[in-house]
Amino acid sequence: MRDAWEIVKLARHPKRPTSQDLIDYLFEDFIELKGDRLYQDDTSIIGGIGTLESQAITVIAEEKGTDTNSKIQRNFGMPHPEGYRKAIRLMKQAEKFNRPILTIIDTPGAYPGVGAEERGQAQAIAYNLYAMMGLKTPIITLVLSEGGSGGALAIGVGDKVFMFENSVFAILSPEGFASILYKDSSLASQAANLMKLTAFDLKELNIIDEIIFEGTGLHEDKIVGYKNLKKIIKSTFKTLSKIPIDELLKNRYERYRKIGVYLEGVEDESNV
């Protein structure tokens, strides 16, 4: 099995497909919807509606871009508050029309710039966490490649959470972790192995539900992983749709309460 730093590097591989590519594969008729109705459209988050075998699904996805120009346009997948407000607007629309929601995480983190802070970055993330807990429709969350900090959590409250085999999900980047712990960002590889950020770590800790296996890797042959994902998404939405809404919300609350209690225990142990 690869070590954590190897998986971090694969999650960031330049040939690894982005959310737009995955959306194009899953939904031939995807219609993008834009804007937060307050400030502007944030292109680092793609939102819209597509059908998967006659089932209409609302899709919210973080997009990094594929070349220099598109990466700049997409802000390297780091959303501003208007991106998160667009996301929750479309999620509430999905709830209104009884559409399930698929969120796709792929971000190093929320954009930390002055403008984003002035427009309420922290509030936008916090509100999304609060609102998603009560959305009366099934939610599946997928970590495609890189899931960093509140930038990922803001669209990451799911009834089921999946990760691709070579993806990572953590409170911050290994470089950031190393800067805090060792005062040296060059020790990121060492930090990665402490962070429990791989799909295998998080499955063992019951933070996620399923690992989507990639075969040789999405950067070499994306179709194997895509087919595995499509199969599990279809079956999971079918299962979730049969659960009464009150029970779905109760299960969602209990899921994240258990995670919270676990993390509180880890923090207490670290302070002993």
Q: Tokens for 50?
A: 């597509």
CA distance from start to end of the chain: 32
Tell me the per-residue pLDDT of 195-220, one tens digit each, with 9 for 90 and over.
999 999 999 999 999 999 999 999 99
pLDDT at residue 271 above 50? no
- From the number of C-beta atoms within 10 Å of its C-beta (0-12, 13-18, 19+), residue 33 rates as middle
The answer to whether 249 and 136 are in contact (CB under 8 A) is yes
3-state helix, strand, coil in the chain (%, to 5): 50, 15, 35
Task: For residue range 161-172, list pLDDT tens digits in order.
Answer: 999 999 999 988
Q: What is the pLDDT of residue 86?
A: 98
Determine the pLDDT at residue 147: 95
Residue 270 in this model has a pLDDT that exceeds 50: no
pLDDT in tens, 127-183: 999 999 999 999 999 999 999 989 999 999 999 999 999 999 998 899 999 999 999
Residue 93 CA neighbour count, 13 Å, CB half: 17
pTM for this entry: 0.94
Question: Does residue 265 register a pLDDT over 70?
Answer: no
Nearest to 219 by CA among 21, 5, 3: 21
Residue 58 burial class via C-beta count within 10 angstroms: exposed 0-12, middle 13-18, buried 19 and up: buried
Q: According to the model, what pLDDT value does residue 267 have? A: 47
pLDDT for res 263: 52
The vertex-224 CA angle with 222 and 225, nearest 5°, equals 70
Q: What is the mean pLDDT of residues 60-68?
A: 97
Instruction: Report how far residue 86's alpha carbon sits from residue 32's, in angstroms, rounded to the nearest whole number.
Output: 12
User: What domains lie within the chain, and their CATH numbers?
Assistant: 4-270 (3.90.226.10)
Q: Is residue 231 pLDDT above 50, yes or no? A: yes
Please give the structure tokens belonging to residue 122.
């922290």
Give CA–CA dist 78/5, Å, rounded.
Answer: 22
